[in-house]
Every structure is written in C-alpha cells, then in structure tokens.
Amino acid sequence: MNTEITASEMRRIDANCGDLGLLPLQLMENAGASVARAIRARFPGTQTRIVVLAGTGNNGGDGFVAARHLLDYNPLILLLGRARDIATDESRRNWEILRNLSADLREIKDSSELPELEPAADIVIDAMLGTGVRGSVREPVASAIDLINASSAFVLSIDVPSGFNPGNFEKVVRADLTITNHRMKEGLSGRPEITGEIEVADIGIPTRATLIVGAGDLPPTRNARSHKGDNGRVLVIGGGAFTGAPALSALAALRAGADWVTVAAPKSVAGTIAGFSPDLIVHSLSGKYLAGDDADIVNALIRKHNVTVIGMGIGRESETAEAVSEIIRSNPDARFVIDADALHALAMPMQPGTPPIITPHAGEFRMLGGDVSADLDERCELVMDFSKRNRVVTLLKGDIDVISDGRAVRINRTGNSGMTVGGTGDVLAGVAGAIFANTGALAAASAGALIVGTAGDLAFLKYGYGLLATDVIECIPDAMRR
C-alpha cells in the first residue's frame, strides 16, 4: 500500500471520519497538540518568541490549537484575513477560545499590515494553507510567505508548507520542520529544501476509519454550466435470458446522474425493455441472445459512450460468452462495469488497458479464482491481492462490501438483508457505471456501493423485507445527498 496520500484522499477520510462520529474538532485538537509538543521538545524555554501565521481554513484552526497549548510562551497569532471569514466551525471555535483567553490576536486584512518577523520571532508556525492549493497564492499570504522565507526564525509548517503544490513550487514556505497529519502527503518526500525535517503526526484516525466509505466518497456536484452528455453516457449491454435486469441497470444509471443511457439488447427482448420506461433508449441487436454477429454494432456503440455496463440478464449461452469475451478484448481502453453472467466469460488476468470494475458476489468471486474469508481483515487482503494480480477493480458484494484496485482497499457497511431480492445487483452495476463516467474506477465502485446500500436502507424503512429493486432506484437521489 502506498504510504503517501493525496490531498483528495485526505479530504475523503476527513469527511468520512465525521460519519463515524470522530469529530473534526477532535482531529484538529490532536493536530495542534502535536505541533505544540514538537515546539516544547525543541525549545523548552518559555522566553522563546513565537509567531503563528494562520489562514482562515482548517490549517489555521490547527495553528489556533497549537497556540492555545503554547500560551505560556505568549505567542502572537496573526490571522491572514478577517475573523468573520473563518471558514469552518472548528476553526472558528478555536479562534474564539483564544479570544476568551485574551491571547494576542491580530487580523491582517492587507499585506501592508504584516509586521516584520525579523528579529521579532524565534519560531514561526506556518498554519496558513494546507493541502490542495490550486493556482497562484494570493495576498496577504503571498507576502507572508516572503517574510517567513526572509527571516532567520525556526519555521514549523503544519501538514505541508504553505503554498506547497506538487510540481509547482513558485511561492512556498521553506520550513525547517514540517509536521504532517496522519500520513505523508503526496510530493513531500525528497524536498528537504522546502519541507526541512518531516514528522508524521498521529491525529487519532484509526486504519479502519480510512477504509470505510462514507459521505467523502460521494461524487462531486456537477458543473452548473454542463450540457447534455457532459455528465456521462452509459451503454448497458444485457437481456436475452431476462428482460428486467438491463432495464434496472439503465434506470439506476439515470437516477445516479448519467445524462444519456442506451440499452443494447437482443431483438427478442428489446421491445419489452423499451416498454418499461419512456426514459430508456433501446438499441435492438439480432436474434434471441447476444452473439458474435452483434460485435461490430456493439463496438460502435461502445465508442459513443463513456462507460459500458455489461452482463445483466444476458444468459450463459456459449456463443454469448464468446461474444462478451470478444467485445471486452476488442476495447481494452474502454471503461467497463462487468456484472452477472458476463463474469463467467472473463479470462483472468485481464489484458493491459483500463482496468474494469467487476461486481461479483462470493460465489462468482470464487468462480473467478478468488478466495473469500469470514474474517474481514483477511477478506480485504484477499480482494486486494486478487485485484492486483488480475488488473481489475473488484467490488465484492456481501453483508459488508469489499472494494479494491489492488493498491488500496475500502469497505462499505450500508445495505440490509432485504436487498437479497432480485435486481439490486443490477441496480449497483448501473450506479457504478454512471459514476465511472466522471471519475476513477475505485472511486466509482466505492461510491456505487455506498449509494445503493444507502438507498436500500431508505427503501427498507418504508417497505421492510417487501422492498423491490425499483424501490431502491427511487431512493438513489436521496442517498446521493450529502
């Protein structure tokens, strides 16, 4: 498992900790306290002059906590901005605590109000900007960075040096010590001229908390200026043996936000599938089941869509299995979600290209060569190893879903035993396909499992064990609300 963590992954974890009851205020307290301990260990004398430069985000909140733990040093806390603009409740609360304790607080509304740091400070705590910096650093932070870099003070940066953006170091604090929260951040290693010494602070996020999917895994809200098709074109290939399964996948993809969903189905069932809903676009193939003669038409459709979801109700005719195998093999760079009967047509490992999402239950996973353990931790390791060896993203369905791309693993605890009703797996494939159109495979599989499980829980509140797959579809929009 990669020891570095991206800014987006850290945001996901932070959001999901809240779902587990691990409050952002607790994490902020632990982060700030770790900074204060590092200062005391290196500078035990309380005559040391400390200046804290804090932004209006959570990085600034970490700095406020550190300042509170170091109040006996009489630190000067400079807020780069106005107190009324502090962005989060946690940061605002810690600012108010400092105010109530009569700490030396100043609001810096303009770069001209920045005091000289030389020789006023022995230590500068940089708590201005955290991870995820985009574009140029703005004032007054830009001028504050120049002041810090021009001073001879010992500089401690919280999480990352302010302005740090992997690949762009035009305007960045040059620290003597960086205390980064939870795990090493992407790009920090190998940059001692910027980061100085690096310490990783344990801020109280257990490993299990990083695995569980939650609100942080929901797809981002769409661009208000987007047009039809911008939010995903999904092709569903299914039907023949059954008619309802591909219709459920297609309707679920629409409810999950796909702009355009096409069902490619054998001629024998295409009319029936089209009759389920006027929202479905159905392309009729030849014969009673998918066959090799359909490959050219299907391949052309795949090129017109962002994602292809294949296998629902398709049957296990030998000619169908050969056609599925050929379709997947002919489109190595296409995005596939492979479910149900199509899983039986796969030859592992998958060929090089874009790794598909596969959605087996335990029996199908064993059929593909995987092993399943009753122990969750062992099951996670088995799924991760299987995914790595076979170049797939696996969504192993169960009472607890396990998702892995071979490098990371996640678990989904939403859902209920009422979802054993037929069709909920088809719904999952459609939702994962819709999200896969706009994000990576691991993120799509994780979000799909979360959304469908949550929708199933909402449907269960109304229908109990009488819930239907169509009830789950209707609850998808509510399940996607943050």
**Is 60 annotated in some ligand binding site?**
yes
Minimum mean pLDDT range among 133-147, 192-206, 311-325: 133-147
Token pair recorded at residue 271: 């009319």
**Is 94 annotated in some ligand binding site?**
no
| Residues 94-112 pLDDT 10s | 999 999 999 999 999 999 9
For strands 393-396 and 401-404, give the pairing: antiparallel
| Residues 262-289 pLDDT 10s | 999 999 999 999 999 999 999 999 989 9
Token pair recorded at residue 230: 């911008």
pLDDT of residue 226: 78
**Is 135 annotated in some ligand binding site?**
yes
**Is 102 annotated in some ligand binding site?**
no
The residue ranking higher by pLDDT, 280 or 46, is 280
**Is 313 annotated in some ligand binding site?**
yes
**Is 295 annotated in some ligand binding site?**
no
**Is 159 annotated in some ligand binding site?**
yes
7-211 homologous superfamily: YjeF N-terminal domain (3.40.50.10260)
- Asked if residue 2 has pLDDT above 60, the reply is no
pLDDT of residue 77: 97
Cβ neighbours around 197 below 10 Å, total = 12
Residue 19, burial from CB neighbour count under 10 angstroms (0-12, 13-18, 19+)? middle
**Is 132 annotated in some ligand binding site?**
yes
Q: How much is the average pLDDT of 104-130?
A: 92
- Asked if residue 127 has pLDDT above 50, the reply is yes
CA-to-CA dists, residue 300 to 246, 273, 297, angstroms: 19, 21, 5
| Residues 12-23 pLDDT 10s | 999 999 889 999
Taken in order 269, 274, 275, 276, is the CA torsion positive or negative?
A: positive
- Asked if residue 161 has pLDDT above 90, the reply is yes
CA-to-CA dists, residue 308 to 138, 239, 246, 254, angstroms: 43, 14, 12, 14
**Is 245 annotated in some ligand binding site?**
yes
- Asked if residue 1 has pLDDT above 50, the reply is no
**Is 103 annotated in some ligand binding site?**
no
**Is 405 annotated in some ligand binding site?**
no
| Fold matches, 7-211 and 221-479 | no
Give me the amino acid identity at 452.
V
Domain ranges of the chain: 7-211, 221-479
Task: Quote the radius of gyration of the chain (alpha carbons, Å).
Answer: 27
**Is 217 annotated in some ligand binding site?**
no
Minimum mean pLDDT range among 116-125, 361-370, 466-475: 116-125
**Is 361 annotated in some ligand binding site?**
yes
**Is 439 annotated in some ligand binding site?**
no
**Is 162 annotated in some ligand binding site?**
yes
**Is 130 annotated in some ligand binding site?**
yes
Task: Classify 262 as helix, strand or coil.
Answer: strand
Q: How much is the average pLDDT of 132-140?
A: 83
pLDDT of residue 230: 76
pLDDT of residue 251: 98
Q: How confident is the model at residue 223 (pLDDT cuts 50, 70, 90)?
A: confident
Residue 63: which H helix or E strand, with range? helix 58-69
**Is 231 annotated in some ligand binding site?**
no
221-479 homologous superfamily: Ribokinase (3.40.1190.20)
| Residues 225-266 pLDDT 10s | 777 877 899 999 999 999 999 999 999 999 999 999 999 999
Q: What pTM was computed for the model?
A: 0.91
Measured CA to CA, the distance from residue 467 to residue 465 in angstroms comes to 5
Q: Would you tell me the crossing angle of helices 244-255 and 424-436 to the nearest 10 degrees? A: 40
pLDDT, mean over the chain: 94
Give me the amino acid identity at 6.
T
Q: What is the DSSP letter of 286?
A: S
